[in-house]
Structures are given as structure tokens and as C-alpha cells.
Amino acid sequence: MCASEFLRCELYRDWFGTNTSPGVGLYDNYDISVQIDSILFYLQYLTYRELHQEPKQTEALMKLMKLIFTEIYKSTRFHIPCVAHGFFNTSLNMLGHCYELENMLELGWNTYKTSVQLLIEGNAAALHIARLLWRVDQRLQS
């Protein structure tokens, strides 16, 4: 119960889309390492945000962004589809959530949209997009 609502959505990502066999994927130690690093930076960001330590918060966000862009660069340079290995979309979703928390809703939207475009099935970005749309709708109504 200590995990944030956002991370619980990621936990159940295999239930979204048309994938009939949850958990199927090409995971290896490298992917898990990238996943752990991105979760670590995301949690650091959340912690420093809660503690109002803006410099450390920004540093954690920059580390998450660097990790993601490094993975994009590697996958295009070596012609390895990073998303085929399953965990890249979660990293994008965490970055999108950071953008949301920074009130950069358009960047959050675009990051979630990219995540869905790269991995349609089994992607919690669908939930995050729905939540973001609800948030924007609530702002427009007030």
C-alpha cells in the first residue's frame, strides 16, 4: 500500500489493450536494470518534490530524462527496438507524470502519447491519458 497510485497503474499494465496473455515479453537483465534506474529517479523526484528541495528534484528529473533519451539514442543507433523489450514505456510514463506534476500538461500528454504509439498493448499510458483528460476537464469546468 506504500506504492503511489501512479505506480500501481504501471503494475497492472498488462491488463490494458488486447494482449490476451499478460506478462509476455522479452525481458532480460538489461531491461530490468533500466526499469530499476528509471523507478529510482522517479521516486527521488517525488521525494524531493514532497520535501520542497527543488535543486535535488530537478536533478532527479534530469537523470530520468537523460536515461530515457540515452535509451532512445542507443536503440536507434544500434537498430534495437527498445520498446520491444517491454519496460521502456513505463519509463516514458513516469516522465510524463513528472511533467504533469510540474504543470507541463502538454509535455505530459505528448510523452504518454509517444508511449502508447510505441507500445499499444499492455501499456498503462491509457489510464494516465484518461486521468490527464479528466484533470484538464476539471480545470475547464472551474
Alpha helices in 1-124 (DSSP H): 5-11, 29-50, 54-77, 88-101, 105-118
Residue 13 lies in a domain: no
- The Cα–Cα gap between 95 and 41 comes to 10
Q: How confident is the model at residue 14 (pLDDT cuts 50, 70, 90)?
A: low
Residue 101 lies in a domain: yes
pLDDT tens readout for residues 55-89 = 999 999 999 999 888 877 776 666 555 544 456 88
CATH of the domain at 51: 1.25.40
- The Cα–Cα gap between 132 and 18 comes to 22
Q: How confident is the model at residue 13 (pLDDT cuts 50, 70, 90)?
A: low
**Structural domain containing residue 60:** 26-141
Q: How many domains does the chain have?
A: 1
Residue 3 lies in a domain: no
Residue 137 lies in a domain: yes
Residue 63 lies in a domain: yes
How confident is the prediction for the chain on average, in pLDDT? 79
Residue 57 lies in a domain: yes
Residue 93 lies in a domain: yes
